[in-house]
């Protein structure tokens, strides 16, 4: 994971960055029965439920949270004996799903314990619609950050792109700087200030500026030059320039999480000529896949001999090392599907939809190549990449495969 804008992670969070679980290697004891038992116990005797969780390792507590249905995750988080140790280990997208399910405005206590990477990722995932900043959603995240403890708030603001912070402020306030050589200058009517030099007023009548005031006061006290940069930015900087730079930084971070830019993701729908659809490598190289930090909770793939998708039935035939590589390759493919189909990356429902579609059309491609060449499906899987299998499947059934969302049409 790259260091965000040159800001180091505070020492208290450095050892608990979100890459807290190791796919396929973590012992995940939680099942729906375990989760129901703990939640049922909590309704009768809360202390007993907390005691039961206390006997789990941190990885097991992360698994408990991530495998609890979204509608009940708040209840599970409140049962944790030390949420400050567990929350920083939750994968970024899972934390975003959880906060949205709870309600952004009610999640300040969770953001208090989140790492700067998690906060930035939540806004990267939820604060944009395509390549356009969603100002209203960004406002909600910033307003909630303003309700966190001052140390948490300052850590988050320093990690966020200054261009995005200025965009947020310009969406809410108009700023005026007191001139040094005009003794008769009067601040705007109703203008607010934290230090007597910069004054600001709400752009929209009736807008509650209390979060803005708290944010600017904390910045002024803790880091005057960051405060000065923000106030000057409100006055002088252009939205179009700041949004373009904020988008660039966001694009790079999303690539770190496995989400490619849209134009690159669309390559999975490229046309493949009929005579080229059965192309296959001479050696088994397709499962040589690099590992990276996963933003979603997926300790393993649903590989089983009776799964509806041929891909997952075939994965059950591979050894542990091959399945581990396939996990990363498959998640990379599912991420490409989500981006290419313009799914909302902050919507928990997008993940299972993208996973099912990736498995569906990769299975179509796998069955086709295996049948045409008379090869075992496992042999084909070792010699053809998952992206290629999906592309072949999409070419075989283009009407069903091609994204039909309003933006793509």
Q: Which residue has the higher pLDDT, 287 or 125?
A: 125
Residues linked to residue 129 through DSSP beta bridges, in sequence order: 132
Average of per-residue pLDDT across 158-179: 95
Q: What is the pLDDT of residue 405?
A: 52
Percent of the chain topping pLDDT 70: 90
pLDDT over 70 at 69, yes or no: yes
pLDDT digits (tens, 9 = 90+) for 222-273: 999 999 999 999 999 999 999 999 999 999 999 999 999 999 999 999 999 9
pLDDT over 50 at 408, yes or no: no
Q: What is the pLDDT of residue 9?
A: 35
pLDDT over 70 at 406, yes or no: no
Q: Which residue has the higher pLDDT, 73 or 307?
A: 73
Residue located via tokens 């306030």: 173
pLDDT over 60 at 391, yes or no: yes
Q: What is the pLDDT of residue 37?
A: 81
pLDDT over 70 at 303, yes or no: no
Average of per-residue pLDDT across 135-152: 94
Read off the pTM: 0.84
Average of per-residue pLDDT across 79-90: 94
Q: What is the pLDDT of residue 56?
A: 87
pLDDT digits (tens, 9 = 90+) for 350-386: 999 999 999 999 999 999 999 999 999 999 999 999 9
Q: What is the pLDDT of residue 82?
A: 93
Give the residue ranges of DSSP H helices in 19-91.
32-44, 46-54, 58-67, 73-79, 83-86
The mean pLDDT value of the chain amounts to 87
Backbone angles phi, psi at 186, to 5 degrees: -120, 135
Confidence of residue 24 (pLDDT cuts 50, 70, 90): very low
Residues contacting residue 235 through CB under 8 Å, at least 6 positions apart: 175, 176, 177
Rounded to an integer, what distance in angstroms lies between the CA atom of residue 181 and that of residue 9?
42
pLDDT over 50 at 10, yes or no: no
Query: Of the given ranges (138-142, 236-240, 300-304, 399-403), which has the lowest mean pLDDT?
Result: 300-304
Torsion of Cα atoms, 95 then 101 then 105 then 111, to 10°:
-20
Average of per-residue pLDDT across 383-399: 96
The answer to whether 27 and 59 have CB atoms below 8 angstroms apart is yes
Residue located via tokens 């989500």: 338
Burial of 180 (C-beta count, 10 Å sphere; 0-12/13-18/19+): exposed
Instruction: Return the SS3 of 176.
Output: strand
Q: What is the pLDDT of residue 3?
A: 33
Query: Of the given ranges (132-136, 258-262, 316-320, 404-408), which has the lowest mean pLDDT?
Result: 404-408
Confidence of residue 313 (pLDDT cuts 50, 70, 90): very high
Q: What does the angle CA 252 – CA 402 – CA 343 come to, to the nearest 5 degrees?
A: 40
Rounded to an integer, what distance in angstroms lies between the CA atom of residue 234 and that of residue 206?
20
Query: Domain residue spans in the chain?
Result: 19-87, 91-257, 259-401
pLDDT digits (tens, 9 = 90+) for 25-65: 344 445 667 777 888 887 888 888 888 888 888 988 998 99
pLDDT over 70 at 11, yes or no: no
């Amino acid at each position: 994971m790259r260091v965000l804008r040159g800001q180091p992670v505070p020492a208290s969070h450095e050892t608990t960055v979100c890459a807290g679980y190791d796919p396929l290697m973590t012992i995940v004891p939680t099942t729906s029965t375990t989760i129901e038992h703990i939640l049922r116990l909590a309704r009768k005797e809360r202390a007993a439920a907390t005691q039961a969780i206390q006997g789990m390792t941190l990885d097991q507590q992360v698994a408990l949270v991530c495998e609890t249905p979204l509608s009940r995750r708040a209840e599970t988080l409140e049962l944790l004996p030390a949420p400050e140790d567990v929350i920083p280990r939750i994968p970024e997208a899972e934390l975003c799903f959880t906060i949205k399910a709870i309600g952004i405005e009610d999640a300040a206590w969770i953001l208090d314990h989140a790492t700067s990477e998690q906060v930035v990722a939540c806004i990267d995932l939820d604060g944009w619609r395509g390549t356009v900043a969603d100002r209203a959603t960004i406002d909600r995240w910033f307003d909630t950050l303003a309700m966190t403890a001052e140390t948490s708030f300052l850590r988050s603001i320093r990690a966020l792109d200054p261009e995005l912070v200025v965009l947020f402020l310009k969406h809410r306030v108009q700023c005026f700087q007191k001139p040094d050589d005009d003794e008769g200058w009067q601040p705007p009517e109703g203008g607010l200030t934290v230090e007597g030099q910069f004054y600001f007023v709400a752009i929209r009548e009736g807008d509650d500026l209390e979060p803005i005031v708290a944010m600017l006061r904390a910045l002024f006290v803790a880091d005057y030059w960051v405060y000065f940069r923000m106030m000057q930015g409100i006055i002088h900087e252009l939205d179009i320039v700041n949004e373009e730079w904020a988008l660039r930084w966001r694009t790079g971070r999303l690539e770190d999480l496995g989400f490619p830019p849209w134009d690159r993701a669309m390559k999975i729908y490229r046309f493949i000529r009929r005579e080229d659809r059965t192309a296959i490598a001479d050696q088994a190289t397709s499962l040589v896949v690099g590992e990276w930090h996963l933003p979603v909770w997926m300790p393993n793939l649903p590989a089983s001999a009776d799964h509806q998708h041929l891909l997952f039935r075939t994965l059950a035939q591979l050894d542990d090392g091959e399945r581990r590589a396939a996990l990363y390759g498959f998640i990379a493919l599912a991420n490409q599907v989500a981006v290419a189909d313009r799914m909302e990356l902050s919507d928990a429902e997008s993940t299972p939809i993208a996973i099912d579609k990736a498995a569906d059309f990769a299975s179509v491609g796998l069955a086709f190549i295996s049948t045409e060449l008379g090869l075992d499906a496992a042999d084909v899987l070792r010699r053809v990449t998952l992206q290629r299998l999906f592309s072949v499947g999409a070419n075989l059934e283009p009407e069903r495969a091609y994204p039909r969302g309003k933006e793509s049409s």
